[in-house]
Amino acid sequence: MDHNYEKAVERILCSEEQIKKRVAEIAREIENYYGASDKKLLLLGILKGSVVFMADLMKAVRLPMEVEFMRLSSYGKSAVSSGEIVIKAGLEKKDLADYNVLIVEDILDTGNTLFWLVDYLKREHNAKDIKICTLLDKPDRREKPISVDFGCFTIPDEFVIGYGLDFNELYRDLPYVGILKREYYE
Ligand code: PRP
């Protein structure tokens, strides 16, 4: 086992302190937006990448909420996603009409996953109000017309790991977002 696997990190893009500060700020924005609503709030985390952000965000938002998770994956995803989405684990709730649905993601990249998901939730789960909260937004790579409602950081087109984001399933546990050294994936 390599006990120094942080050597894969070229540099830190979002430090623990920066993330903590932004999560608190975004939590206040979410409270202000949903605070006066009569509808129930549902935070919907998309696994696996959102797990760390979701855990911190749900503690920071001081509103009554329910939480759900889905596990999605882009079929044949490599460096470039194909746009075909597979549900690995679906929603327990059937009808979302009574909820303000806030999708919680680690990253909005090409937009293929969320573009598909928003349509799916409307079509199959009767969702009426859907907003998107992401830790990271990489607008340079966008292929679908979708944007973030509550976003923490806009980042350049770099391979990022940590705080939920992986490279070959590793590095999700790093407490910060870092750029992966090119030699690891080229
Ligand atoms: C990542 C991320 C988003 C998606 C974003 O998930 O968590 O769901 O890719 O990319 P897109 O905007 O290009 O669709 P991934 O499929 O890598 O699975 P994971 O969350 O389990 O790592």
- Residues 38-79 have pLDDT tens digits of 999 999 999 999 999 999 999 999 999 999 999 998 765 555
| In a domain? residue 79 | no
State the closest ligand 1 atom to the C-alpha of 109, by its place in the atom list counted from 1.
12
Is 78 contained in some domain?
no
**Contact (Cβ atoms closer than 8 angstroms) between residue 126 and residue 97:** yes
Tell me if 46 CB under 6 Å of ligand 1: yes
Q: Are 126 and 101 in contact (CB under 8 A)?
A: no
Tokens of 85: 């989405």
- CATH code of the domain covering residue 112: 3.40.50.2020
The sign of the torsion formed by the CA atoms of 15, 174, 77, 23 equals negative
Residue 103 placed within a domain: yes
pLDDT for 81? 52
Q: Which of 51, 85, 113 to mutate to test the pocket of ligand 1 (most atoms within 8 A of CB)?
A: 113
How many domains, the chain? 1
Phi then psi dihedrals of residue 14, to 5 deg: -130, 115
Domain that holds residue 128: 5-72+84-184
Best residue among 50, 69, 84, 106 to mutate for probing ligand 1, ranked by most atoms within 8 Å of CB: 106
**Residue pLDDT, tens place only, 117-140:** 999 999 999 999 999 999 999 999
Residues 152-175 have pLDDT tens digits of 999 999 999 999 999 999 999 999
> Is residue 77 assigned to a domain?
no
Which token pair is 121?
């939730």
